Structure formats: structure tokens, C-alpha cells
Amino acid sequence: MRIASAVVLAPLVLGVAYVGGWPFLLLCGLGAGGILWEWTRLVAGRSDPRILAPGWLGLLVALILAGGAAAGLAAGAVAVSAAASGILAMIGLDGQTTRDRGLWAAGGVVYAGVAALAPALLRRDADFGLQAFLLVAATVWVTDICAYAVGRLVGGPLLWPRISPNKTWAGAIGGLAGGIAGGALVAYAGGLGRLAMIGAVAAALSVSAQAGDLLESAVKRHFGVKDTGRLIPGHGGLMDRLDGFLVAALVALMIGIVRHGAGAPGHGLLVW
């Protein structure tokens, strides 16, 4: 089921990424909206409109602003909607302390905002956006595949048993090696120079992806669930599938912005 889902979804995502523009922004928005829905069900135990309404509105505004090259305002829209969701979630909820529930709600909007804006702003780079997205996607996908395969074949000591009882050190190292190879292959196919630097970038993205996977595992363990949803056969929910990608995309975006500004983060990520 995992392979079948990947065979269906990967070409779709890559095709929309190739087109770019508003179709890609729409795909990012749908993914982020689904992630917020899953997060809300974890936090509130149901589809709570006090979290979803301001959160979805903020994501919509953020993506519109991102499409108009207003990255700073887009991030601000996510922050405002996160604050609004957090405040509303604290009103009249039982169980956990209301403050804890509000913080979790606000965190979910930020998490979904990263899922929306990080790939959208990377792809928007007119010259290097597609290559930057492909580099992140390939690094994360190959990291995931190699970590699973090596972990199953080699076994050995667990990476962090309290958080994830199946991940091993061997799998993490195998995933890192695979992620570096995947990122370097994309760079080589795209005619980019200084492959050693691209390999170092891919290593950072691979580690980030595995950290994102562990972060989501910690969240699920906190709320006592195995999967965040059943949308993707063999994978679970959107959070289960995109946990590593969104953290890696955020790291890639930050590298690109620091090196070449918010207007061309793909250039900053790829050209050394």
C-alpha cells in the first residue's frame, strides 16, 4: 500500500511542482489545510472550528501574500492566525489546562504554516525554484526509503526508543547516506557545480527530515495515537507523510534566504 500510494502521489506532486505558480500554491494550501485538520483532531479530539476557522483563514491569506512575493507579510498572517486560534482554543475547553490546549492549537497553525509557505516560497524562485524543490523532495524521499530499508535489514540499537520504538541508528545513518546521494544526483542532473557543497546541504536537509519525523512521533506519542489520519493508504495522514519534508523545506528556505534573500531562496540554496 505504501508503494502504491507513492506511485500515484509522486507523479502528481512532481507534475504540479513543474507547472508552479498558483496550481502549486493551491497544492501547498490543500496540504497545509489537511495538516491543520489532523493536528486539531489530535489537540481537541474533534474538528474544532475555533482552531480551524482562524487557522484556515490565515493559511489562505498567507498563500495569497506568498504568491504576491510578500514573504514577510505571509509569515505575519500565519503568526496572527496562530495567536487567534490559540486564544479561542483556551475558551471553555476541558481536559488539559486551557493554556496547554491553546499553546498546542497555536503550534498547529504554525506547523501547518510551515507546510504551506516553505515549499511555496522555495518554488517561487523564478530561476532555481523547481530545482530547489526537487533537491528537497529527492533528499527527503531517498532518506525515508534508505532509513526504512537499512533499518529493517541491519537492525541494531534504537535511535530514540522513548519516542519511536522502530527507528534505529543504522537506519538513521543509512538514511543520511541515501539523502546525500539523492540530493547530489539532483544537483548533478541539473548541471549545478560544487557538488561537495550541495552534498553538505543535502546532509543538513536529511538530518532535518529525520528530526521532523521524530518531532511528529513525539507529538503522536503525547496524544496517544499511532497515525494522524487515514487519508493516504499505507502511510496514514498527511502529517505522517509530510513530517520530514516540511522541516527540511523550512531549513532549505532559511539557508536560501540567509544567502540570497527572500526573493530568490532557491539561488541561495543551490549556487555556491
Q: What is the tens place of the pLDDT at every residue in 112-145?
A: 999 999 999 999 999 999 999 999 999 999 999 9
- Are the C-beta atoms of 130 and 123 separated by less than 8 Å? yes
Residue 15 placed within a domain: no
Radius of gyration of the chain (CA): 18
> Residue 94's pLDDT is what?
53
Average pLDDT over residues 90-101: 67
- By the 10 Å C-beta count (0-12 exposed, 13-18 middle, 19+ buried), 7 is classed as exposed
pLDDT band at 2 (very low <50, low <70, confident <90, very high): low
Can you tell me the distance from the alpha carbon of 141 to that of 31, in angstroms, rounded to the nearest whole number?
Answer: 17
Residue that terminates a domain, selected from 98, 124, 150: 124
Residue 12 placed within a domain: no
Q: Are residues 159 and 95 part of one domain?
A: no
CA 32 to chain centre: 9
Domain that holds residue 234: 126-272
b/e string for 109-142 if b means 16 or more Cβ within 10 A? bbbbbbbbbbbbbbbbbeebbbbbbbbbbbbbbb
Q: Are residues 29 and 97 part of one domain?
A: yes
Can you tell me the distance from the alpha carbon of 180 to that of 244, in angstroms, rounded to the nearest whole number?
Answer: 15
C-alpha distances (whole Å) from 1 to each of 30, 233, 243 are 22, 6, 19
- Are the C-beta atoms of 214 and 167 separated by less than 8 Å? yes
Can you tell me the distance from the alpha carbon of 178 to that of 193, in angstroms, rounded to the nearest whole number?
Answer: 20
Average pLDDT over residues 241-262: 96
Residue 130 placed within a domain: yes
Residue that terminates a domain, selected from 62, 96, 124: 124
Residue 4 placed within a domain: no
Q: Are residues 38 and 86 part of one domain?
A: yes
pLDDT tens profile 161-189: 989 888 999 999 999 999 999 999 999 99
Average pLDDT over residues 30-44: 95
Of the chain, the percentage scoring pLDDT greater than 70 comes to: 96
Q: Are residues 209 and 137 part of one domain?
A: yes
Q: Are residues 149 and 98 part of one domain?
A: no
Q: Are residues 264 and 130 part of one domain?
A: yes
Total structural domains in the chain? 2
Residue that terminates a domain, selected from 103, 124, 145: 124
Integer distance in angstroms from the first to the last C-alpha of the chain? 40
Q: Are residues 199 and 116 part of one domain?
A: no
Q: Are residues 187 and 213 part of one domain?
A: yes
